[in-house]
Structure 1
Amino acid sequence: MHQMNLKTLLLAIVVAEAATSAYAGGFSRGTADTEILYEDGNFNMRSSVTFVRPSQKYSKNGNPDLVGTDPYDTYVIPSFATKFKLTDSVSCAGTYTQPYGGSKKYDAPTYDGKLVEKFHIDEFGATCAVKFSVGKGNFYLLGGMFVEQLDYEREDFGGINLNLTGQDTGYRLGVAYDIPDIAFRAQLKYRSATSYGADGTLSVPGELVGVPLPKVDFAAKGYGNLPQNVELDLQSGIAPGWLAFASVQWMDWSVTKTLIVRSDISETIDQYNWRDGWTITGGIAHEFTKDLAGSVSLSWDQAVATGWDVTGETWTLAVGGSWKDKRGGELRGGLGVTYMASVEETKYGFNNSALDAGWAVSGNLGYAIKW
């Protein structure tokens, strides 16, 4: 198999994985595209956008008006990566994505008064890889830093609005070994946890606090934790024009116990008390021509809910494709279909909620080029 064809196959895998990770467990969304560090070229750029539409309806809720309604919003995950080859042995990449997020919009107030609740994390990262020639392949050491920016919004019944922003930093480490001639790569990656004391404003209609003003703003602060994770990726050519790949990821979701918001007049606590999450993916990529390749994968994500919320088990089937154009770039796209298992709360008595089984559909489109 020729080297050029291998690169087309590998990019097809990246696309399928983007569609798979778009609806993983907990608050997971995108993943920083550090795979660009393994690409040939002195200067490489890759960008993509993934659209996700989940749909799952309440079968039980503390507010009967919400039974039969779907609280989930469509969301978009951007990704951008650029790589610079500094020497024959050292390359560095800058990445941007949204690794975490959540968005719900209710047709009627929840038992605790919520109408809209959403947040997302913007991650800006820099990662470098040092390559050593070992045996028939190459050994890599990876390391880098990232900055996360949190934006959180909540609208409550009665015209109450909460807005919070925060920032934290973290790091990623990794090791890998590859044999390019057979498209073999084994990679172990670690991403550190982050923690937030996000600041913002709770806006309350004046009549609720006895003030003759349209709105009164109170200082607010939110507290929460996001997990560390470890991922093992494997891939290898298995026959001319064929490549198999698999990954196992552990995420420390048990650190996400509560989201606490305190202001001068109130305190609210969202209970999660999640358990750690596991995601397992396996798939195959095939080269149709020297310029066209495709892949298919199946992913399972363990439910992290322990009775305190409705974050359940998922199964995702994803397909991806990559086409090399005449200008030296590669157009890529993918589709994913996720089955969302039914899930039920058990800790709130008559206020317990439950969701029927549902589906999420995701689509990914991107472009890659190198010089």
Structure 2
Amino acid sequence: MPNTFKKIAIALACATATASAGQAGGFNRGTADTDILFEEGNFSMRAGAVIVSPRRGYDTITSPLLGGTVSGTDGNFSDSYVVPSAAFKLQLSERGSCAGTYTESFGAGATYGTQAITAGYADGTGTVSEGFTSNEFGLTCGANFQAGKGRVWLIGGVFAQDFKYAQTVEFAPLTPLAGSRATLAFNDEYRLGYRIGAAYEIPEIALRGQVIYRSAVDHTPNTSQGSFTTVAGVFPTFGNGTLPQSIEAKFQTGIAAGTLAFASVKWTDWSVLQTLNYTIVGPAPIGGARVLEYFWQDGWTVSGGLARQFNEMVAGSVSLTWDKGVSTTEDVHTDTWTVASGVSLKGERGTELRLGGAISYLAAGSVAADPTPLTPGTGNTFAYSVDGDWSYAVGANFKVNW
């Protein structure tokens, strides 16, 4: 039984990683694979990717520029995306190991149709597309010592993440640049953050509990890293915003021969993202201070599932995840429910292939219009609603261990 528990633990990452990427969770995408610290052997390497296809579109749009409330005909505005992940672990001694990790920690992307662009003219510009990515490179180490039947781990490390943002808008009719388009862009350099945590495990029964804290990171792109490009020229731009801190607690344990249960709870401080402030350096009406409004609330992600060892080579897992919506007045990052399943296929010489898939249900929601769209305030430029929508994800990763 102890050996069976050890083998089945490998099935976890496939299901849970796919589930976390498949659900909304604000702008969350990937999580650093620090679990590789617990792998046996002197060296481990794991790499893979998850492809996510959210299918979110407007059900109705309300705007006087469209003649009132109309049915949405633009199709899906949410862009598909890929979340890469890579990690390697070196065993430094019997009591310590270090891991290097890479992932795309945050991101979002949307491309809008004619209806949404036209409705957006209410504030002078209609948004054509918008998106950002944040890559994370990390180094995390863990030291362990014996405590009773198990081991206590102290975990800590640093990471660096960048911030790349782009928004393309179309100027409304009757404006000086009517019909033309402009792009706001930020390419902030890598900024440092840190993670700390602790864990306790009893490998013989695959029991492990851990808590990891990840710090917030401030991004302050200056005029050499920001720009607003129009037919009238390129204008330097600077800004500031914060990507949130988070705390995640995870637990797993063997519950029967060949069967493992696992669960996790994660809090993300999305309320730190109230606005992204920026200033365009140039003459009026182009130049001046601007804000991108979010007014989000904190997010919670709760997940649980089971894993099962079918034979020496094959294990599988299934999980259910609920993610609390973070929107308040500006958009529709609503509650999300995700069912994910994964399979682990072991090969020779410490190799392993993990495959997984997930289906997410995105709850319906609506947003009211800002009564004064030309000045900062709560509410979107135009009112709209979305029905319950779906998101699909497939993922794979490959591990080498020796």
* TM-score bin, normalised by smaller chain: over 0.9
Match of 1:123 in 2: 136
**Deviation of the 1:75 alpha carbon:** 0.1
Alignment partner of 1:303 out of 325, 333, 356: 325
For residue 208 of structure 2, what is the amino acid of its counterpart?
R
Alignment partner of 1:135 out of 148, 155, 166: 148
Does residue 250 (structure 1) correspond to residue 267 (structure 2)? The answer is yes
Does residue 178 (structure 1) correspond to residue 201 (structure 2)? The answer is yes
Judge conservation of contact 1:8–1:323 (CA < 8 Å) in 2.
Answer: no
Match of 2:284 in 1: none
Alignment partner of 1:339 out of 358, 361, 367: 361
Match of 1:290 in 2: 312
Unaligned runs of 5+ in 1: 207-215
Indicate the SS of the match to 2:254: strand
**Deviation of the 1:7 alpha carbon:** 4.2
Distance 1:7 1:75, change over 3 A: farther
**Deviation of the 1:101 alpha carbon:** 0.3
Match of 2:278 in 1: 261
For residue 329 of structure 1, what is the amino acid of its counterpart?
T
Match of 2:234 in 1: 217
**Deviation of the 1:353 alpha carbon:** 2.4
For residue 295 of structure 2, what is the amino acid of its counterpart?
N
Distance 1:225 1:156 in 2: 23
Does residue 9 (structure 1) correspond to residue 8 (structure 2)? The answer is yes
Alignment partner of 1:169 out of 179, 189, 192: 192
Distance 2:143 2:207 in 1: 18
Match of 1:152 in 2: 165
Judge conservation of contact 2:5–2:257 (CA < 8 Å) in 1.
Answer: no
Judge conservation of contact 1:8–1:324 (CA < 8 Å) in 2.
Answer: no
User: What per-residue deviation string (whole Å, max 9, x for no partner) do you get for residues 60-88 of structure 1?
Assistant: 33464882321101100000000001111
Does residue 369 (structure 1) correspond to residue 400 (structure 2)? The answer is yes
Distance 1:160 1:94 in 2: 39
Distance 2:355 2:10 in 1: 10
Unaligned runs of 5+ in 2: 171-179, 282-286, 372-380
Judge conservation of contact 2:34–2:99 (CA < 8 Å) in 1.
Answer: yes
Alignment partner of 1:202 out of 225, 228, 236: 228
Judge conservation of contact 1:344–1:355 (CA < 8 Å) in 2.
Answer: yes
**Deviation of the 1:139 alpha carbon:** 0.4
Distance 2:58 2:6 in 1: 44
Distance 1:347 1:8, change over 3 A: farther
Does residue 352 (structure 1) correspond to residue 379 (structure 2)? The answer is no
Distance 1:341 1:188 in 2: 29
**Deviation of the 1:33 alpha carbon:** 0.1
User: What per-residue deviation string (whole Å, max 9, x for no partner) do you get for residues 298-345 of structure 1?
Assistant: 000011111222111100000011110124200001100000001111
**Deviation of the 1:2 alpha carbon:** 4.4
Match of 2:25 in 1: 25
Match of 2:112 in 1: 106
For residue 85 of structure 2, what is the amino acid of its counterpart?
S
Aligned residues between the structures: 361
Indicate the SS of the match to 1:100: strand
Judge conservation of contact 2:368–2:382 (CA < 8 Å) in 1.
Answer: no
CA RMSD of aligned residues (A): 1.5
Judge conservation of contact 1:271–1:309 (CA < 8 Å) in 2.
Answer: no
For residue 45 of structure 1, what is the amino acid of its counterpart?
M
For residue 132 of structure 1, what is the amino acid of its counterpart?
F
Does residue 328 (structure 1) correspond to residue 375 (structure 2)? The answer is no
State TM-score, norm by structure 2: 0.87
**Could you tell which deviates more after superposition, 269-278 or 126-135?**
269-278
**Could you tell which deviates more after superposition, 149-158 or 137-146?**
149-158
Indicate the SS of the match to 1:99: strand
Q: Identity over the aligned pairs, expressed in percent?
A: 40
Judge conservation of contact 1:66–1:107 (CA < 8 Å) in 2.
Answer: no
**Deviation of the 1:156 alpha carbon:** 1.2
Match of 1:40 in 2: 40
Judge conservation of contact 1:301–1:313 (CA < 8 Å) in 2.
Answer: yes
Indicate the SS of the match to 1:113: strand
User: What per-residue deviation string (whole Å, max 9, x for no partner) do you get for residues 128-183 of structure 1?
Assistant: 00010111111000000000011111111122012211132110001000000100
Distance 1:42 1:269, change over 3 A: same
Match of 1:93 in 2: 99
Does residue 240 (structure 1) correspond to residue 254 (structure 2)? The answer is no
State TM-score, norm by structure 1: 0.94
Judge conservation of contact 1:146–1:171 (CA < 8 Å) in 2.
Answer: yes
Alignment partner of 1:191 out of 205, 209, 214: 214
For residue 201 of structure 2, what is the amino acid of its counterpart?
D
User: What per-residue deviation string (whole Å, max 9, x for no partner) do you get for residues 41-98 of structure 1?
Assistant: 1111000100000001202334648823211011000000000011111100000001
Match of 1:212 in 2: none
Match of 1:67 in 2: 72
Judge conservation of contact 1:127–1:142 (CA < 8 Å) in 2.
Answer: yes
Does residue 52 (structure 1) correspond to residue 52 (structure 2)? The answer is yes
**Deviation of the 1:260 alpha carbon:** 2.1
Match of 1:313 in 2: 335
